[in-house]
Amino acid sequence: MTTKVDVLAIAAHRDDVEITSGGLIAKFVDFGYSVGILDLTEGEMGSRGDSATRLAESTEAAKILGVKERANLGLPDAYLENSLAARAVLAQKIRDFAPQLIIIPHWQQRHPDHRVCSQLSFDACHYAGLKKAKLTGEPHRPRKILYSTYYEPTVPSFAVDVSAQYERKLAAIRCYNSQFREGDKTNNVFSPGADLFDFVRANDGALGSQIRVQFAEAYVLKEIVAIDDPMKLGGLSI
């Protein structure tokens, strides 16, 4: 039986969540919230590793971050589609987890699976709330949807200070030894010849400098945020 959580991070592949949102997930855990991760595929089409290896790596990464439960839908890697069948399967898991907040990829993505994951997840959240949907359990929709930027050139709605959680984020990424090895310049996921860890540190560090902390992660909201007392807004304008 799926454990109910406060926060659910949904991603196309094992390791996506750690790279984009590992700091925020660890911070949610530190705040006392229960967190779940749902990977849509087993990453079987990746150039490195295999499904079994990536399962073991993702399980260890979840332990480091303090995740309450990690599940996998087993949808086809590199062939994700926003079909009614996929939407129904994902909507059922959203009902089972019943999160108040979900984290999904930004809709602007280089990898097709990441792009499809964004729209599929949004549509599944809507479907999960339909009373007449052919699903088990009570209708449920998350209250908030955060979009992780995945280092795409987007304008964030806000940034989260993850300095205190940063070493745990990096430790979780290091679990994916089949995919990333520190100092390995042959993996060109983000930029030619760049070490993944150097790239992530540089980007999270640059974002952190904008809110005057060491490391931060950026997120996007589609809706306007209501502020009761602007005097309590964080950060400095000058």
Residue pointed to by tokens 């950060």: 235
| pLDDT at position 200 | 93
Is residue 56 packed enough to be buried (19+ CB in 10 Å), middle (13-18) or exposed (0-12)? middle
Give the Å distances, CA to CA, from 215 to 90, 93, 191, 208.
32, 32, 20, 4
CB atoms within 10 A of CB 208: 20
The DSSP output letter for 84 is: H
pTM of the model: 0.94
Q: What is the pLDDT of residue 43?
A: 80
CA angle 32, 28, 4 (to 5 degrees): 70
Q: How far is CA 83 from CA 21, 75, 124, in A?
A: 26, 11, 10
Block mean pLDDT (10 aa), the chain, length 238? 94 95 98 98 77 94 98 93 97 98 94 94 98 97 95 90 98 91 65 78 95 96 95 87
How far is residue 230's CA from residue 227's CA, in Å, rounded to a whole number? 6
CB 160 within 8 A of CB 219: yes
State the DSSP string of 6-46: SEEEEESSTTHHHHHHHHHHHHHHHHT--EEEEEEE--TTS
Q: Computed from CA positions of residues 142, 54, 19, 48, in that sequence, does the dihedral angle turn out positive or negative?
A: negative
- pLDDT score for 137: 97
Neighbours of 20 (CB within 10 A): 27
Tokens 């295999």 correspond to 50
The domain limits of the chain are 7-224
Q: What are phi and psi of 125, to 5 degrees?
A: -65, -40
The predicted-structure confidence for 180-190, as pLDDT tens digits, reads as follows 877 766 666 66
Q: Where are the beta strands (DSSP E) in 129-197?
A: 144-148, 158-161
Can you name the CATH fold of 7-224?
Rossmann fold (3.40.50)
Would you say 217 and 148 are in contact if contact means Cβ atoms under 8 Å apart?
yes
Q: What confidence score (pLDDT) does residue 181 get?
A: 73
Q: How far is it, in rounded angstroms, from Cα 122 to Cα 4?
A: 19
